Protein backbone atom coordinates (compact mmCIF):
# COMPACT_ATOMS: atom_id res chain seq x y z
CA UNK A 1 0.00 0.00 0.00
CA UNK A 2 1.19 3.52 -0.74
CA UNK A 3 0.01 6.50 1.22
CA UNK A 4 -1.65 9.31 -0.74
CA UNK A 5 0.93 11.83 -2.01
CA UNK A 6 0.86 15.33 -0.61
CA UNK A 7 -1.33 17.54 -2.85
CA UNK A 8 0.96 19.26 -5.30
CA UNK A 9 3.51 16.40 -5.43
CA UNK A 10 4.35 15.63 -9.05
CA UNK A 11 2.77 12.33 -10.14
CA UNK A 12 4.84 9.63 -11.81
CA UNK A 13 4.30 9.68 -15.58
CA UNK A 14 4.10 6.21 -17.15
CA UNK A 15 3.96 5.73 -20.92
CA UNK A 16 4.22 1.97 -21.34
CA UNK A 17 2.86 -1.18 -19.66
CA UNK A 18 6.27 -1.75 -18.02
CA UNK A 19 6.51 1.78 -16.61
CA UNK A 20 2.94 1.51 -15.39
CA UNK A 21 3.54 -1.84 -13.70
CA UNK A 22 6.52 -0.45 -11.84
CA UNK A 23 4.43 2.46 -10.56
CA UNK A 24 1.34 0.59 -9.31
CA UNK A 25 0.83 -0.52 -5.71
CA UNK A 26 -2.06 -2.09 -3.81
CA UNK A 27 -5.65 -1.39 -4.86
CA UNK A 28 -5.91 0.85 -7.89
CA UNK A 29 -8.53 3.43 -8.84
CA UNK A 30 -8.57 4.82 -12.37
CA UNK A 31 -9.99 7.98 -13.86
CA UNK A 32 -9.79 7.64 -17.66
CA UNK A 33 -9.58 10.98 -19.50
CA UNK A 34 -8.59 12.47 -22.83
CA UNK A 35 -6.77 15.31 -21.05
CA UNK A 36 -7.71 19.00 -21.34
CA UNK A 37 -8.56 18.60 -17.68
CA UNK A 38 -11.02 21.05 -16.09
CA UNK A 39 -12.70 21.40 -12.72
CA UNK A 40 -15.07 18.53 -13.58
CA UNK A 41 -12.09 16.19 -13.94
CA UNK A 42 -10.56 17.59 -10.72
CA UNK A 43 -13.79 16.63 -8.94
CA UNK A 44 -13.67 13.11 -10.46
CA UNK A 45 -10.10 12.72 -9.25
CA UNK A 46 -11.04 13.97 -5.77
CA UNK A 47 -13.91 11.46 -5.57
CA UNK A 48 -11.63 8.66 -6.80
CA UNK A 49 -8.72 9.52 -4.46
CA UNK A 50 -9.99 7.55 -1.42
CA UNK A 51 -11.19 4.56 -3.47
CA UNK A 52 -7.79 2.89 -3.91
CA UNK A 53 -4.23 2.99 -2.60
CA UNK A 54 -2.93 4.14 -5.99
CA UNK A 55 -4.85 6.74 -8.00
CA UNK A 56 -4.17 6.62 -11.74
CA UNK A 57 -5.36 9.26 -14.21
CA UNK A 58 -5.03 8.17 -17.81
CA UNK A 59 -4.60 10.77 -20.53
CA UNK A 60 -5.03 9.54 -24.08
CA UNK A 61 -6.89 11.21 -26.95
CA UNK A 62 -8.36 8.08 -28.44
CA UNK A 63 -8.46 8.29 -32.25
CA UNK A 64 -10.91 5.42 -32.72
CA UNK A 65 -13.80 7.19 -30.97
CA UNK A 66 -13.66 10.08 -33.47
CA UNK A 67 -15.18 9.58 -36.92
CA UNK A 68 -13.46 11.11 -39.95
CA UNK A 69 -14.33 14.83 -39.99
CA UNK A 70 -14.85 15.02 -36.21
CA UNK A 71 -12.59 17.09 -33.96
CA UNK A 72 -9.74 14.61 -33.26
CA UNK A 73 -7.05 16.98 -34.58
CA UNK A 74 -8.59 20.02 -32.91
CA UNK A 75 -9.18 18.26 -29.59
CA UNK A 76 -7.28 20.32 -26.98
CA UNK A 77 -3.99 18.83 -25.78
CA UNK A 78 -2.72 20.54 -22.63
CA UNK A 79 -0.40 17.98 -21.03
CA UNK A 80 1.64 20.31 -18.79
CA UNK A 81 -1.47 21.96 -17.35
CA UNK A 82 -3.08 18.52 -16.96
CA UNK A 83 -0.10 17.36 -14.88
CA UNK A 84 -0.67 20.29 -12.54
CA UNK A 85 -4.36 19.41 -12.11
CA UNK A 86 -3.33 15.81 -11.38
CA UNK A 87 -0.67 16.90 -8.89
CA UNK A 88 -3.16 19.14 -7.09
CA UNK A 89 -5.72 16.30 -6.91
CA UNK A 90 -3.21 13.86 -5.37
CA UNK A 91 -2.87 11.60 -8.42
CA UNK A 92 -0.06 9.05 -7.97
CA UNK A 93 0.41 7.98 -11.57
CA UNK A 94 -0.45 9.71 -14.84
CA UNK A 95 -0.69 7.04 -17.50
CA UNK A 96 -0.14 8.83 -20.81
CA UNK A 97 0.42 5.86 -23.11
CA UNK A 98 2.23 5.95 -26.41
CA UNK A 99 0.18 5.14 -29.52
CA UNK A 100 1.73 1.65 -29.90
CA UNK A 101 1.03 0.84 -26.23
CA UNK A 102 -2.69 1.35 -26.92
CA UNK A 103 -2.78 0.27 -30.56
CA UNK A 104 -0.01 -2.27 -31.21
CA UNK A 105 -1.58 -3.06 -34.58
CA UNK A 106 -1.58 0.62 -35.51
CA UNK A 107 -5.34 1.40 -35.51
CA UNK A 108 -6.00 -1.75 -37.54
CA UNK A 109 -7.47 -3.66 -34.59
CA UNK A 110 -9.63 -6.52 -35.77
CA UNK A 111 -10.81 -7.41 -32.26
CA UNK A 112 -12.98 -4.62 -30.87
CA UNK A 113 -15.80 -4.30 -28.34
CA UNK A 114 -19.28 -4.32 -29.87
CA UNK A 115 -21.40 -1.97 -27.75
CA UNK A 116 -24.62 -3.79 -28.66
CA UNK A 117 -28.09 -2.18 -28.85
CA UNK A 118 -27.45 0.37 -26.10
CA UNK A 119 -24.61 1.75 -28.20
CA UNK A 120 -26.80 2.21 -31.26
CA UNK A 121 -29.32 4.70 -29.80
CA UNK A 122 -28.99 8.43 -28.96
CA UNK A 123 -25.28 9.30 -29.32
CA UNK A 124 -24.76 6.01 -31.13
CA UNK A 125 -27.32 7.02 -33.73
CA UNK A 126 -25.55 10.34 -34.30
CA UNK A 127 -22.02 8.84 -34.09
CA UNK A 128 -22.30 5.19 -35.21
CA UNK A 129 -18.65 4.24 -34.59
CA UNK A 130 -18.16 6.24 -31.38
CA UNK A 131 -19.00 3.75 -28.65
CA UNK A 132 -17.10 0.90 -30.30
CA UNK A 133 -14.03 3.15 -30.05
CA UNK A 134 -14.81 4.18 -26.47
CA UNK A 135 -15.44 0.66 -25.15
CA UNK A 136 -12.45 -0.76 -27.00
CA UNK A 137 -10.07 1.83 -25.55
CA UNK A 138 -11.59 1.57 -22.05
CA UNK A 139 -11.18 -2.22 -22.11
CA UNK A 140 -7.53 -1.74 -23.17
CA UNK A 141 -7.04 0.74 -20.30
CA UNK A 142 -8.59 -1.76 -17.90
CA UNK A 143 -6.23 -4.46 -19.23
CA UNK A 144 -3.19 -2.24 -18.80
CA UNK A 145 -4.03 -0.54 -15.49
CA UNK A 146 -6.03 -3.43 -13.98
CA UNK A 147 -7.99 -1.08 -11.71
CA UNK A 148 -10.27 -2.23 -8.92
CA UNK A 149 -12.47 0.84 -9.41
CA UNK A 150 -12.91 3.23 -12.34
CA UNK A 151 -14.72 6.54 -12.20
CA UNK A 152 -16.62 8.20 -15.05
CA UNK A 153 -18.60 11.45 -15.18
CA UNK A 154 -22.39 11.37 -15.42
CA UNK A 155 -22.24 14.09 -18.07
CA UNK A 156 -21.51 11.40 -20.65
CA UNK A 157 -24.38 9.37 -19.28
CA UNK A 158 -24.69 6.87 -22.11
CA UNK A 159 -20.94 6.23 -21.98
CA UNK A 160 -21.20 5.56 -18.23
CA UNK A 161 -24.13 3.16 -18.78
CA UNK A 162 -22.24 1.32 -21.53
CA UNK A 163 -19.00 1.02 -19.56
CA UNK A 164 -21.01 -0.33 -16.63
CA UNK A 165 -22.70 -2.87 -18.90
CA UNK A 166 -19.36 -3.86 -20.48
CA UNK A 167 -17.66 -4.38 -17.11
CA UNK A 168 -20.59 -6.49 -15.88
CA UNK A 169 -21.28 -8.52 -19.02
CA UNK A 170 -17.62 -9.16 -19.91
CA UNK A 171 -16.87 -9.90 -16.23
CA UNK A 172 -13.99 -7.44 -16.19
CA UNK A 173 -14.15 -7.17 -12.41
CA UNK A 174 -13.87 -3.38 -12.38
CA UNK A 175 -16.34 -1.51 -10.18
CA UNK A 176 -17.69 1.43 -12.19
CA UNK A 177 -18.57 4.55 -10.22
CA UNK A 178 -20.43 7.55 -11.67
CA UNK A 179 -19.63 11.08 -10.55
CA UNK A 180 -22.28 13.85 -10.68
CA UNK A 181 -21.84 16.49 -13.39
CA UNK A 182 -19.92 19.59 -12.37
CA UNK A 183 -21.44 22.85 -13.67
CA UNK A 184 -20.42 26.44 -14.32
CA UNK A 185 -22.25 29.09 -12.25
CA UNK A 186 -24.93 29.46 -14.94
CA UNK A 187 -25.52 25.69 -15.10
CA UNK A 188 -23.48 24.80 -18.21
CA UNK A 189 -22.04 21.29 -17.75
CA UNK A 190 -18.24 21.45 -17.72
CA UNK A 191 -16.67 19.95 -20.83
CA UNK A 192 -13.29 20.12 -22.53
CA UNK A 193 -15.15 21.26 -25.63
CA UNK A 194 -16.66 24.38 -23.96
CA UNK A 195 -13.46 26.23 -24.82
CA UNK A 196 -14.51 26.09 -28.50
CA UNK A 197 -17.59 28.28 -27.79
CA UNK A 198 -17.60 31.98 -28.76
CA UNK A 199 -19.02 34.43 -26.19
CA UNK A 200 -22.48 34.43 -27.74
CA UNK A 201 -22.45 30.64 -28.22
CA UNK A 202 -21.42 30.32 -24.60
CA UNK A 203 -24.61 32.18 -23.58
CA UNK A 204 -26.75 29.98 -25.82
CA UNK A 205 -25.06 26.86 -24.45
CA UNK A 206 -26.35 27.64 -20.95
CA UNK A 207 -29.88 27.07 -22.29
CA UNK A 208 -29.24 23.32 -22.45
CA UNK A 209 -29.04 23.03 -18.67
CA UNK A 210 -31.86 25.60 -18.34
CA UNK A 211 -34.01 23.28 -20.46
CA UNK A 212 -33.22 20.37 -18.15
CA UNK A 213 -34.10 22.48 -15.10
CA UNK A 214 -37.41 23.43 -16.72
CA UNK A 215 -38.03 19.70 -17.22
CA UNK A 216 -37.27 18.99 -13.56
CA UNK A 217 -39.62 21.82 -12.49
CA UNK A 218 -42.43 20.31 -14.59
CA UNK A 219 -41.88 16.76 -13.30
CA UNK A 220 -44.95 16.81 -11.07
CA UNK A 221 -47.14 17.20 -14.18
CA UNK A 222 -45.84 14.05 -15.86
CA UNK A 223 -43.53 12.99 -18.69
CA UNK A 224 -45.23 14.96 -21.48
CA UNK A 225 -44.98 18.17 -19.45
CA UNK A 226 -41.29 17.51 -18.72
CA UNK A 227 -40.50 17.21 -22.43
CA UNK A 228 -42.73 20.14 -23.44
CA UNK A 229 -41.19 22.48 -20.83
CA UNK A 230 -37.64 21.55 -21.78
CA UNK A 231 -38.48 21.91 -25.48
CA UNK A 232 -39.88 25.44 -24.94
CA UNK A 233 -36.59 26.61 -23.44
CA UNK A 234 -34.64 25.14 -26.37
CA UNK A 235 -37.05 26.66 -28.90
CA UNK A 236 -36.75 30.10 -27.26
CA UNK A 237 -32.96 29.88 -27.66
CA UNK A 238 -33.33 28.63 -31.27
CA UNK A 239 -31.60 25.37 -30.32
CA UNK A 240 -32.63 22.41 -32.46
CA UNK A 241 -31.56 19.38 -30.41
CA UNK A 242 -30.19 16.20 -31.93
CA UNK A 243 -32.35 14.57 -29.29
CA UNK A 244 -34.30 15.45 -26.18
CA UNK A 245 -35.55 12.29 -24.49
CA UNK A 246 -36.87 10.98 -21.22
CA UNK A 247 -35.73 7.44 -20.40
CA UNK A 248 -35.39 5.16 -17.42
CA UNK A 249 -31.98 5.20 -15.67
CA UNK A 250 -30.74 2.39 -17.99
CA UNK A 251 -31.82 4.38 -21.06
CA UNK A 252 -34.88 2.17 -21.64
CA UNK A 253 -38.48 3.38 -21.63
CA UNK A 254 -39.33 5.77 -18.77
CA UNK A 255 -41.86 4.45 -16.25
CA UNK A 256 -44.32 7.02 -14.85
CA UNK A 257 -43.77 7.63 -11.16
CA UNK A 258 -40.27 6.13 -11.19
CA UNK A 259 -36.84 7.73 -11.48
CA UNK A 260 -36.02 8.77 -15.03
CA UNK A 261 -33.27 10.48 -16.99
CA UNK A 262 -33.78 13.53 -19.20
CA UNK A 263 -31.05 13.74 -21.84
CA UNK A 264 -30.29 16.40 -24.42
CA UNK A 265 -27.69 16.81 -27.15
CA UNK A 266 -27.35 19.77 -29.47
CA UNK A 267 -24.88 21.56 -31.65
CA UNK A 268 -24.18 25.15 -30.60
CA UNK A 269 -22.24 26.72 -33.45
CA UNK A 270 -19.94 23.88 -34.46
CA UNK A 271 -19.60 22.48 -30.94
CA UNK A 272 -21.65 19.47 -29.94
CA UNK A 273 -22.80 19.56 -26.31
CA UNK A 274 -24.46 16.93 -24.12
CA UNK A 275 -26.27 17.20 -20.81
CA UNK A 276 -28.67 15.15 -18.68
CA UNK A 277 -30.36 15.08 -15.31
CA UNK A 278 -32.23 12.69 -13.05
CA UNK A 279 -35.88 13.39 -12.24
CA UNK A 280 -39.02 11.56 -11.24
CA UNK A 281 -42.01 12.45 -13.41
CA UNK A 282 -45.43 12.16 -11.81
CA UNK A 283 -48.04 9.66 -13.02
CA UNK A 284 -49.55 9.79 -16.55
O1 LIG B 1 -14.92 10.46 -21.57
C2 LIG B 1 -13.80 10.46 -22.12
O3 LIG B 1 -12.98 11.36 -21.91
C4 LIG B 1 -13.42 9.33 -23.07
O5 LIG B 1 -14.52 8.91 -23.81
C6 LIG B 1 -12.74 8.14 -22.37
C7 LIG B 1 -13.67 7.44 -21.40
C8 LIG B 1 -11.49 8.61 -21.63
C9 LIG B 1 -12.31 7.10 -23.42
O10 LIG B 1 -11.41 7.63 -24.35
Nearest CA to ligand 1 atom 1: 33
Q: Is 271 in the pocket of ligand 1 (CB under 6 A)?
A: no
**Distance of alpha carbon 55 from the chain centroid:** 18
* Claim to verify: residue 169 and residue 199 sit in the same structural domain: no
Q: The domain spanning residue 132 has which CATH number?
A: 3.40.50.620
**Distance of alpha carbon 15 from the chain centroid:** 22
pTM: 0.96
Residue of 124, 119, 153, 146 lying closest to 45 (CA atoms): 153
* Claim to verify: residue 203 and residue 173 sit in the same structural domain: no
CA of 62, closest atom in ligand 1 = 10
Order of all β-strands in the sheet with 28-33: 12-14, 93-95, 54-59, 28-33, 149-153, 175-179
Of 38, 41, 47, 130, catalytic:
41
pLDDT of the residue at 107: 87
Q: Is 139 in the pocket of ligand 1 (CB under 6 A)?
A: no
* Claim to verify: residue 196 and residue 167 sit in the same structural domain: no
* Claim to verify: residue 223 and residue 271 sit in the same structural domain: yes
* Claim to verify: residue 132 and residue 197 sit in the same structural domain: no
Ligand 1 pocket test, candidate residues 40, 65, 178, most atoms within 8 A of CB? 65
Q: How many structural domains are present in the chain?
A: 2
Q: Is 273 in the pocket of ligand 1 (CB under 6 A)?
A: no
Q: How far is the CA of 48 from the centre of ligand 1 (A)?
A: 16
Q: Is 65 in the pocket of ligand 1 (CB under 6 A)?
A: yes
Of 132, 147, 179, the domain-final residue: 179
Q: Which domain holds residue 51?
A: 12-179
* Claim to verify: residue 256 and residue 210 sit in the same structural domain: yes
Q: Is 158 in the pocket of ligand 1 (CB under 6 A)?
A: no
Q: Is 134 in the pocket of ligand 1 (CB under 6 A)?
A: yes
Backbone angles phi, psi at 174, to 5 degrees: -105, 125
CA of 153, closest atom in ligand 1 = 1
Helix (H) or strand (E) holding 262: strand 260-268
Q: Is 33 in the pocket of ligand 1 (CB under 6 A)?
A: yes
3-state secondary structure of 49: helix
3-state secondary structure of 218: coil
Q: How far is the CA of 95 from the centre of ligand 1 (A)?
A: 14
Cβ atoms < 10 Å from Cβ of 213? 16
* Claim to verify: residue 138 and residue 42 sit in the same structural domain: yes
Q: Is 192 in the pocket of ligand 1 (CB under 6 A)?
A: no
* Claim to verify: residue 152 and residue 268 sit in the same structural domain: no
pLDDT of the residue at 4: 59
Residue 41 annotated among the catalytic residues of the structure: yes
CA of 61, closest atom in ligand 1 = 10
* Claim to verify: residue 106 and residue 46 sit in the same structural domain: yes
Residues in the chain: 284
Give one DSSP letter per residue of 150-174, joined into a string. Answer: EEEETTSHHHHHHHHHHHHHTT---
In a structure prediction context, what are the per-residue pLDDT tens digits for the chain, which is 284 residues long?
445 566 678 999 999 999 999 999 999 999 999 999 999 999 999 999 999 999 999 999 999 999 999 999 999 999 999 999 999 999 999 999 999 999 999 988 899 999 999 999 999 999 999 999 999 999 999 999 999 999 999 999 999 999 999 999 999 999 999 999 999 999 999 999 999 999 999 999 999 999 999 999 999 999 999 999 999 999 999 999 999 999 999 999 999 899 999 999 999 999 999 999 999 999 76
Q: How far is the CA of 153 from the centre of ligand 1 (A)?
A: 10
* Claim to verify: residue 158 and residue 268 sit in the same structural domain: no
* Claim to verify: residue 119 and residue 254 sit in the same structural domain: no
Residue of 154, 278, 155, 150 lying closest to 216 (CA atoms): 278
Amino acid sequence: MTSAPAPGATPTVARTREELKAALNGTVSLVPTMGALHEGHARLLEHARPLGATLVASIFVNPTQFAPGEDFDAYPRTFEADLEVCAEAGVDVVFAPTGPTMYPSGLRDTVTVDPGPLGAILEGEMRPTHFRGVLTVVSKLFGLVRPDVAMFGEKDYQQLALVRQMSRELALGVEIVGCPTVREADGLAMSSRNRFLSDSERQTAACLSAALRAGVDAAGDGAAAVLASARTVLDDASIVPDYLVLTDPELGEAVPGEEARLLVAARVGTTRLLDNTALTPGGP
